[in-house]
Structure 1
Amino acid sequence: MGQRVVRVALVAGVVVLALLLLLATCGGGSEGEKGKKPEPSSKPAKKSAAAGPATRLAVPSAYASKQGWQITNVSPDYAIAPSAGRVGYLERVSATRFRLRTVDAASGRRAWAGDAWQPLSDPAYFPRLLAVAKDGREHFVAWSYGKVGEDALTSADMIVALDVYDVETGAQRRVELPWPDAPSVNGAGPGILVSDGGAESAVVDPVTGRVTHTAASDLRYPKGCGDCRVQTQVRAVTEKGLLVSGRREFWVRGGWHSRKTAPAGTDAASGVPTSVTDGRILARWQKKRAAKGAADYDVWAVHDTTTGKVLAKTECRKPAIEPGTHPQAAVAPEGRYLVAGSLGFDLETATGHCFEEADGTKPLSLTMVTDTGLAYGTTTTNTPVEADLTTSRPTALLPNVHIPTAEVAGTALFPWTDRKDRPHLLAYARRG
């Protein structure tokens, strides 16, 4: 009887010990891991970069849809850092919070990710995203505009919030700038330009976070330029200062004036900048009155932002109806080629071409160009098209072909929305 009691006690002790061990192994990790929740993310495609993206669109023959990567549920905006070969995009973390993520453009492998944050703008929509470079350092900038607190009642309570990230390290700097009305923000030069779309502006240094305000009264209007004070607009930041334009003519504050850098054969007081990107200004000029074709043609020129020097020019027929806005210029990764709408330029040979019929009809709308001189866009009927800037010959593509929006590190980017209205960013490698 005594032996049986001992056996029962031993068995009970073993059972209790087993239960304690089981509880210890199931009780969770270290204290540092407690409370952590899995982070929702925009996951890359299930297939590896070597296997290729899961979605294979019809694309121009220069790209291999079997080699690349894809991301689902991305922001409408994405940003490119050409030197680092990285792509930045925003992902939704929760109903009100977002995070900036980066990937290697060539492989699709994830790089660093920023901390989650809540924008000032309506969280139903993604914040805005852009890229800016200064002194060889590239930055991604996520920005939003809104009121400081729930009790904000006046325009004095409205601010622009910019989260500036170093592309290489992911180091983050937050800059908050009081701004009374909806701002215009761009990174077309070595600084983040915040403006009212007119003459009031501020520049944020992406490296230091320093903010420099410039009032309309301090734009250093060129002497003898009456139109410079009409419809004045701060356009971009350049290495030499702010680029500013009036109804006609443009100048760099404290630097050069377009009247002194006008293309040969044009009215020196007629220049109007239409786009600024990567150290280049695209401007429209009128021919001198006595010049051949002055009534029918405009001169389009690409200028260097530092000196105002003309890098290339061409002529296009004047539109029957003046457009409200002009196409934005896009530059090839290495900077040789530039396109904007029907215009294509080779800045190395200082030549340009207007892709339209002789009478000005059927202009192409080119939106992207590669280092090989191949440009992509659409016709007036939305047919995808490829244009070779080295021969000035366009080629219509099949209607189902998707055209790239950018190229970085030998990889073209293709935003795409599936049937469930989910946004994707696909990347396909350049052949060869």
Structure 2
Amino acid sequence: MRQKIVRLSLVAGVLVVALLLLLATCGAGGGRDGTGGKAGSKAGSKTPAPAVTSAGPAPATQLTVPPAYSTRSGWELVNTSPDYAISRTTGRLAYLLRVGENQYRLETIDSETGRAGWKGENWRPPASKHFPKLFLITKDDVEYFVTWAYGKVGESALTPADTIVSLDVYDVRDGSRRRVEVPWSSAPSVIASGPGILISDGRTTSAVVDPATGLISKIAPSALKYPKDCPSCKQLTEVFGLTDRGLLLSGAREFWVQGGWFSRNVAPRHTDRTSGIPTSVAPGWVLAKWQLAKGQKQAGTHDLWAVHDAETGKPVATVECNKVAIKPGQYPQAVMSPSGTYLVAGNLAFDLTADKGFCLEAPDGSKRLTLASVTDEGVAYGATSARNATDALSGGGRPYAVEVATGVAERLPSNVRLPGAEAKAEVGVFRWTDEKDRLHLLGYPRAPR
């Protein structure tokens, strides 16, 4: 904005004071309590840096949260990426910041205090107007933050051969970065269940990237091996995940780990041994759906869900649920508590230490809960009438808290926002989008008992 030069010193002084007051006002922002009030600070540019409020003073944005958390202290980030990742060992939280035209930077904070940690260098991913994806992966007890994007190598790219999956792998401890570029000709699926980064075309072509070395191992469809006497394994074959033993693959009705176990040999009791379908993977675990065996009381109305040990295939916890009337296009992603004790997915909740599972729905299959997060204390958060976990975290549906050890669900006030995760330091991480379409990430600690 152009300004005329004012030579009178008195007028100049007034303008300086007014400008300082304006900047102070913009920096302070306003709060919103989750019920429709004003919140957020005005952007000073198209790509403003996020504002961070360290623990102590309450964040400017005051959401209504579950009673387990307190908004009297915490931290707040503004204008960050939708994705974030939290280190299970250090409690460090990573997020992406847009720093220019199609330029981004990975930054970190201490999830307990909100203090800034290490920052990565600015980089430009393959042609894309959207934030790159971000996740955490662990190999040999070393954690890595990984960002990935898919697109053209250059603006003049003309063929599918000119497209790549670009990965930046950061050591959680010090931020040291490794760039890996994998030529890829179709829209990829990138799976972070570990120990390697799995890239798949959703069918039988895949590649695995070692996060420690950057080594790329491509697996052609011809290299896949199938269990004996399993015709359905060769139908609708898909590279579904990665385990310490090798690739996890699924067919039309059964699944297996290449060179390892076969679902038919580890089927839960009272199920049709040839009916297993994997629906989600998490570090160390596979969630699968099974048909009950003929003759079982609820075989016509219910399915059995099981969490399998990814290394051995052994089912650890199971539960029966009503069959859905319409098969979903995509099953809910499994979400783990930070310590790995609890697992939730959709309306399923499992206590893996006690080998117990719960199906959170009415007896007739209605009023299903969609769970989105779970804490180390065994409290899962979700909502009924929510389209998916993202919708529940955005305020959709009716919020609930669930004690995973007992399966008891408690309805929360309708304006409560749910935590998307809980960090090692017992800080809940919440997302909220203001009226200017800016994403806020907020950290609220557990309330004193």
TM-score by length of 2: 0.85
User: For each residue in 1:286-323, what CA deviation from the matched residue of structure 2 results, as whole angstroms up to 9, or x when unmatched?
Assistant: 01112111111100000011111111001001112222
The 5 Å alignment of 1:4-403 reads 42-45=49-52, 47-122=53-128, 124-380=129-385, 382-403=397-418
Q: Secondary structure at the match of 1:316?
A: strand
Task: Give how far 1:49 is off.
Answer: 1.4
User: For each residue in 1:207-262, what CA deviation from the matched residue of structure 2 results, as whole angstroms up to 9, or x when unmatched?
Assistant: 00000011112221111111111111112221111111111111111111111111
User: For each residue in 1:366-424, what CA deviation from the matched residue of structure 2 results, as whole angstroms up to 9, or x when unmatched?
Assistant: 11111111110000260111111222111111111000111112111111111221111
C-alpha distance in 1, partners of 2:48/2:216? 33
Task: Give how far 1:55 is off.
Answer: 1.3
Q: Secondary structure at the match of 1:259?
A: helix
Is the CA contact 2:62–2:71 (under 8 Å) kept in the aligned structure 1?
Answer: yes
Is the CA contact 1:41–1:91 (under 8 Å) kept in the aligned structure 2?
Answer: no
Percent identity between the two aligned chains:
51
C-alpha distance in 2, partners of 1:360/1:156? 47
Task: Give how far 1:431 is off.
Answer: 2.4
Q: Secondary structure at the match of 1:217?
A: helix
What's the counterpart of residue 426 of structure 1? 442
C-alpha distance in 1, partners of 2:161/2:180? 17
Q: Secondary structure at the match of 1:169?
A: coil
C-alpha distance in 2, partners of 1:61/1:112? 32
Q: Secondary structure at the match of 2:289?
A: strand
C-alpha distance in 2, partners of 1:112/1:400? 35
User: For each residue in 1:148-206, what CA deviation from the matched residue of structure 2 results, as whole angstroms up to 9, or x when unmatched?
Assistant: 22332111111111111111011100011111111111211111111101110000000
Is the CA contact 1:121–1:127 (under 8 Å) kept in the aligned structure 2?
Answer: no
Task: Give how far 1:333 is off.
Answer: 1.1
- Counterpart amino acid of residue 241 in structure 2: A
Is the CA contact 1:130–1:186 (under 8 Å) kept in the aligned structure 2?
Answer: no
Task: Give how far 1:121 is off.
Answer: 3.0
C-alpha distance in 2, partners of 1:42/1:279? 37
Q: Secondary structure at the match of 2:100?
A: coil
Bigger Rg over Cα:
1
C-alpha distance in 2, partners of 1:185/1:131? 12
- Counterpart amino acid of residue 202 in structure 2: G
C-alpha distance in 2, partners of 1:50/1:99? 27
Is the CA contact 2:319–2:358 (under 8 Å) kept in the aligned structure 1?
Answer: yes
Task: Give how far 1:428 is off.
Answer: 0.8
- Counterpart amino acid of residue 444 in structure 2: Y
Is the CA contact 2:237–2:252 (under 8 Å) kept in the aligned structure 1?
Answer: yes
What's the counterpart of residue 16 of structure 1? none
C-alpha distance in 2, partners of 1:203/1:84? 26
Is the CA contact 2:127–2:154 (under 8 Å) kept in the aligned structure 1?
Answer: no
- Counterpart amino acid of residue 411 in structure 1: V
- Counterpart amino acid of residue 426 in structure 1: L
Unpaired stretches in structure 2, ≥5 consecutive residues: 1-46, 387-396
Q: Secondary structure at the match of 2:80?
A: coil
2:427 matched to 1:411?
yes
Task: Give how far 1:96 is off.
Answer: 2.0
Is the CA contact 2:421–2:428 (under 8 Å) kept in the aligned structure 1?
Answer: yes
Is the CA contact 2:126–2:154 (under 8 Å) kept in the aligned structure 1?
Answer: no
- Counterpart amino acid of residue 51 in structure 2: P
- Counterpart amino acid of residue 440 in structure 2: H
C-alpha distance in 1, partners of 2:325/2:114? 46
Is the CA contact 1:344–1:354 (under 8 Å) kept in the aligned structure 2?
Answer: yes
Is the CA contact 1:63–1:428 (under 8 Å) kept in the aligned structure 2?
Answer: yes
Q: Secondary structure at the match of 2:333?
A: coil
Is the CA contact 1:42–1:71 (under 8 Å) kept in the aligned structure 2?
Answer: no
Q: Aligned-residue CA RMSD in angstroms?
A: 1.4
Q: Secondary structure at the match of 1:140?
A: strand
Q: Secondary structure at the match of 1:228?
A: helix
C-alpha distance in 2, partners of 1:108/1:44? 11
Q: Secondary structure at the match of 1:63?
A: coil
- 137 and 113 in structure 1: CA distance in 2 versus 1, 3 angstrom threshold: same
Write out the 4+ residue segments of structure 1 that deviate beyond 6 Å after TM superposition.
none
Unpaired stretches in structure 1, ≥5 consecutive residues: 1-39
C-alpha distance in 2, partners of 1:96/1:390? 46
Task: Give how far 1:41 is off.
Answer: 6.0
Task: Give how far 1:48 is off.
Answer: 3.2
C-alpha distance in 1, partners of 2:125/2:172? 20
Task: Give how far 1:56 is off.
Answer: 1.5
